[in-house]
Structure 1
Amino acid sequence: SGMASFLKRTLGPLRTFSTSPIVRLRGPLTFDGWYPRDHKPGPYPENEEERRRAAIKYGLRPEDYKPMDKDDIVRYAGDYPDLGVVTYDHKDPYESWTDRMHRRNWGEMVGMDMMNYRGDRLTFTGLESEDFTFWASVKMCLRVLVPMVLLSYYFSRDDPNALRWKNPAMPKQYPYDFARAFPFDDPRKFPIVNYSFDVEGKGHGHH
């Protein structure tokens, strides 16, 4: 029928793409029985059987598996393993890593704090830097703090000739007290007398 031929024309290329070699080489997504939900942390293991099952799920030996502490409200994540601190510098630079830039192997477990210990970090403590000295760090702080103090003083002093973000101005004068008349009264009931002096400088006040 016409509908069948239409679907064949439209869905045919999609079927070809889904079975193409490019999509078949997507890695673990093509493994039988592999689903993303299988890698989500499960409940905290309560017995030895659950511990072994969780260790196998995360690709660890049962004797190496240790879940996050349940009392740690910040890091607790069900049965997700606590892998400790393994930084880039802990790993052998001569190992044949799958990912040489980050010294990681394919399928290697991802620690919870892995982003803090990647290879693009120049230092992990700041203290092993060869040119680190106490006074150099003090000088670096003063290079920021001293200009801040000077600028704060310069912009906030009481001198009327000091540089301001905007020129000082007196409050705007209004002929009626609009705030007093708000919301429903007539502001003309509440006139405001604003004194000034005439142009000739006679000194007579008028309004």
Structure 2
Amino acid sequence: MAALVKFSRVASKLTNKSCLVPAVSYGSHWNKDNKPGPYPQTQKEREAAAKKYGIPVEEYEPYPDDGMGFGDYPKLPNESVDTRSAHYPYDFPEFKRNFGEPLHVDHDLYSEDRYSTARTRFTPTTMMLTTLSVVGAIALAYWWLNDKKAFRPVLPKQYPGDGKVHYTFELK
């Protein structure tokens, strides 16, 4: 923490104005420090990984070692951001998250403007059946009306008599 304060003083002297120093997680200073480590094989490795991510050892569960490359990253519940309380005093309220909190592997999927895991008004089965009913009704109407072409019913222009002009305009 002292190094962070010292860095912010140096940075403010260089720019002649106060600046915000980007927050770093506990014990990591480079991008490579945030990279997940290998899958924990022993209990001691599990405890070290749980400490690294700030999760109690009892709640820490890594992703299975199935070749996806998640390593020791914790398997977090599939909870979208919009299901979190809006009244909690988050460190970053616009993202509804706290400092040092690990992100879900699919964080870009579960952000507030994307997929939601909240309860919906209708079941997925009802939504699918409704969609198929509407698409089916449109397809049926197209099939039934395909040979009945729409056109503007206009007859040929009719002239009185044999097509002679029966009026004139005089210019004065």
Q: TM-score range by the shorter chain?
A: 0.5 to 0.7
Structure 1 residue 42 and structure 2 residue 33: aligned? no
Unaligned runs of 5+ in 1: 1-15, 163-207
Aligned-residue offset at 1:135: 7.2
Q: Which residue of 2 aligns with 1:25?
A: 20
Q: TM-score, normalised by structure 2?
A: 0.56
Structure 1 residue 63 and structure 2 residue 55: aligned? no
Q: Which residue of 2 aligns with 1:92?
A: 85
Opposite residue 35 of structure 1, the aligned amino acid is: W
Deviations 1:37-92 (A, max 9, x none): 0111111111122222222222223332211122x455x61111111223335533
Deviations 1:105-164 (A, max 9, x none): 223210123334333358536x632xx488786444333233234446777xxx8x98xx
| Residues 56/149 of structure 1: CA separation in 2 closer, same or farther (3 Å cut) | same
Unaligned runs of 5+ in 2: 1-10, 150-172
Q: Distance in 2 between matches of 1:101 and 1:78?
A: 29
Rg comparison, structure with higher value: 1
Aligned residues: 137
Aligned-residue offset at 1:94: 2.2
Opposite residue 95 of structure 1, the aligned amino acid is: Y
Q: Distance in 2 between matches of 1:21 and 1:48?
A: 50
Higher mean alpha-carbon deviation, 41-50 vs 86-95, is at 86-95
Pairwise CA RMSD: 4.0
Identity %: 27
| Residues 140/28 of structure 1: CA separation in 2 closer, same or farther (3 Å cut) | same
- The structure with the greater share of residues assigned to helix is 1
Q: Which residue of 2 aligns with 1:141?
A: 132
Could you say what secondary structure the match of 2:108 adopts?
A: helix
Higher mean alpha-carbon deviation, 113-122 vs 39-48, is at 113-122
Q: Distance in 2 between matches of 1:69 and 1:23?
A: 45
Q: TM-score, normalised by structure 1?
A: 0.48
Match of 1:82 among 61, 75, 84: 75
Q: Which residue of 2 aligns with 1:128?
A: 120
| Residues 101/149 of structure 1: CA separation in 2 closer, same or farther (3 Å cut) | farther
Could you say what secondary structure the match of 1:63 adopts?
A: coil
Larger RCO (CA under 8 A, 6+ residues apart): 2
